[in-house]
Every structure is written in C-alpha cells, then in structure tokens.
Structure 1
Amino acid sequence: MPKRFEFSAEFEYPVESVHALLTDEGYWRSRLAPGSGGTVEVLESADHDGSPLVTVTMTETVDPGNFPSLVRKVVRGEMRMQRIDMWRPVDDGRASGRVEGASTGIPVAIAGDYDLSPLGSGALLAVSGTITAKIPVIGGSIEALARQMVGQMVARDREELLRRLTDGG
C-alpha cells in the first residue's frame, strides 16, 4: 500500500522569487553532486490545457553502498535516480507543480503535487503525494525509507533556495 507524504518549507522571499529559481536551469545544474555523472534538462513547453509548463529532469547515479542494508539487498544493477519537477507559471500570486521520482535497480515510484503560495511577505512551498515500492514483504519498509528521503530532499531544496536567494540568485 503506498505511503503518503506531506512536507513544507517556508521562505522569507516572495512566491515569484522562489518560483524563478525553481524553474532556472542554473539552479538545478548547481544541485548536481560532483562526480555523480548526473544530468539536468530544463524544457519549456505547454501543458495538456495549453498553459506554459517548465519541466526539470534531474538524473544521478547513486552508490547503493550508502543506503541501509535493507535497500542494498534488493538493488539490482546500477542505481540511477530520476527526479522530474513540473511547474506552471505564477498565477494570482501562487504556483502549482508536480514532482515524480523513480529509480533503476529498485522499483520505487514517487508522485506528488507542489503548491507554492504566499505566507505573509514570504512564501510556503508545500509538497504532498505518495510513494510506492513494488517489492514483496519489505515494500512497506522501503516506502518508509523513501518517505524520509523525500523529507530530506525538501529540506535540501529549501537550504539551497535560501542560499541562492540570500546571495542574490
């Protein structure tokens, strides 16, 4: 059964400033770990309803040796993780988006929604969704671990966004 997640991050900067970085190729390229062999692709297109959409696809190779033994036991072959963030433009002071994640080597899928909204003079980024691991017996444990990882991802995103916003982009 998929595990639900909900995380949020607050910013002292307006929605427009946070959104500008979340859709900026330079921001995402700076997020790649050195030596990861990772890639970033940022595409501007139109969503199914014709509205503008920015899609960020980040792929990195991860050393499964850094994961708990439970995960290492089920990893098959190289472990590549892919994260796809899709953002609509700011409209009426807020923006929405989607996040999807998957990996090779272990059948885990993440699907969630972003809501970037005003919070006082700043912004609140909320993300909620589900994690599914299709692994008999230990799938629930893998989902719980993946949920923790999504929380860490949101915290790292917040830290990097704040660093870039404070430094002027």
Structure 2
Amino acid sequence: MPRRIEHSATYACSPAALHAALTDRAYWEARLEAVGGTGATLDSFEAAGGGAEVALTQVIAADKLPSIVSRIKSGDLSITRTETWGPLAADAATAEVTALVSGTPATVTGTTSLTGDDTATTVRTDGQAKVPVPLVGGKIEQAVADNVVRLLVAEARFTEQWLAGR
C-alpha cells in the first residue's frame, strides 16, 4: 500500500515572488548546489506559458541508504525528479511532481500547490511513495516517504534563504 507524503511550508513573500523563483533556472541551479547532494544535475529546464518544467537527477550514496533499501538495489541510487509548474493565476499555482528511482520499481508522485496573499505564501505537497515489492515494499515505502519529507524540509530552508537574498 503506497505511503502518503505530506509537507507544508510558509514563506514571507507573495505567491508571485515564490512562483518567479520556481520558474527561474538560476533558482534550480542554486538549490541543487545547496541541497542536491553529490552528483546532482539539472537535466533540463524549460520555462514556457508562465510555468516551467524542471528535470533533475540526484544521487544517494549506497552508504547513506537505509539497509532495507539495499535489499532491492545495491550501490548508489539515482533518482530522476520532474516538476511541472503551471502559470500563476489568482495568487495560486500547481505543479505535478514525479520521481523515479533507477533500477527499482520505486516511484513518488504528487502535486505541489502554492497559495497566498501579498504577505505570505504556503506551499503544500501531497503525494505518495510506491514500491511494489512483496514483503519489504511497505517498509521501503516508509523509508522513501520519510526521506522525501526530509528533503522537502531542506529545500524549504534553502528557498527561504533564496527569497530573503532577493
């Protein structure tokens, strides 16, 4: 059974300011450098129609993986993520998010939304981790979900700093 992923962060800026960051290549490059980990790459970035499609790869070293994950995949994990942000309309925007773990059946899917007003914007991610492996899939799903939330927290901290510097 897939594990739910839920995360929320609030920023002291307008939705327009946050959306401008999320549709800016420089933001993604800086975010990957700060919290992407060793070997992270921005594979593609395309801004169009007021939104952006971002694809990136992150690598988790084998020695950093929970032992339960090593049961289905030896070596480092390569994770390909995409975020497809729509345009900002009425102080709101949404993104479809996916992550695929190379060489495994593990997937993460979800939606991220931003809403707010001139003084604050809340970003909410709702998704699920799915690892269809008999016996250990549920434990791996929980490990994936926990790690995704930790990553979202780190990315939110980076985003706060990025916005404060602008």
**Shared fold by TM > 0.5?**
yes
Check whether the contact 1:28–1:40 (CA below 8 A) recurs between aligned residues: no
- Structure 1 stretches (4+) deviating beyond 6 angstroms? none
1:73 aligned partner, one-letter code: R
Distance in 1 between the 2:60 and 2:26 partners? Answer: 22
Question: Equivalents in 2 of 1:26, 1:39: separation in Å?
Answer: 11
Rounded Cα–Cα distance in structure 2 between residues aligned with 1:5 and 1:34: 21
Separation (CA, whole Å) in 2 of partners of 1:140 and 1:35: 27
Percent of residue pairs identical: 22
Alpha-carbon contact 2:108-2:128 (below 8 Å) kept: yes
Corresponding residue for residue 94 of structure 1: 92
Matches within 5 A, 1:1-169: 1-30=1-30, 31-32=32-33, 33=36, 35-36=38-39, 38-45=41-48, 53-76=51-74, 78-118=76-116, 121-168=119-166
8 Å contact from structure 2 (residues 13, 118) kept in 1: no
SS in 2 for 1:163: helix
Are residues 69 and 77 of structure 1, via their aligned partners in 2, closer, same or farther at CA, if it must alter by over 3 Å?
closer
Letter aligned with residue 87 of structure 1: W
TM-score (norm 2): 0.89
Return closer, same or farther for 1:64/1:105 CA change in 2, 3 Å cut-off: farther
Displacement after TM superposition at 1:35 (Å) = 4.5
Q: Distance in 2 between matches of 1:120 and 1:21?
A: 16
Residues 66 and 143, structure 2, Cα contact 8 Å, conserved in 1: no
TM-score after normalising by structure 1: 0.87
CA offset digits 1:102-134 (Å, max 9, x no partner): 111332101101110006720000010111002
Residues 119, 64 of structure 1: alpha-carbon distance in 2 compared, 3 angstrom cutoff: farther
- Unmatched segments (≥5 aa) in structure 1: 46-50
Looking at structure 1, the residues matched to 127 and 42 of structure 2 have their Cα atoms a distance apart, in angstroms, of 25
1:86 is displaced (CA, Å) by: 0.7
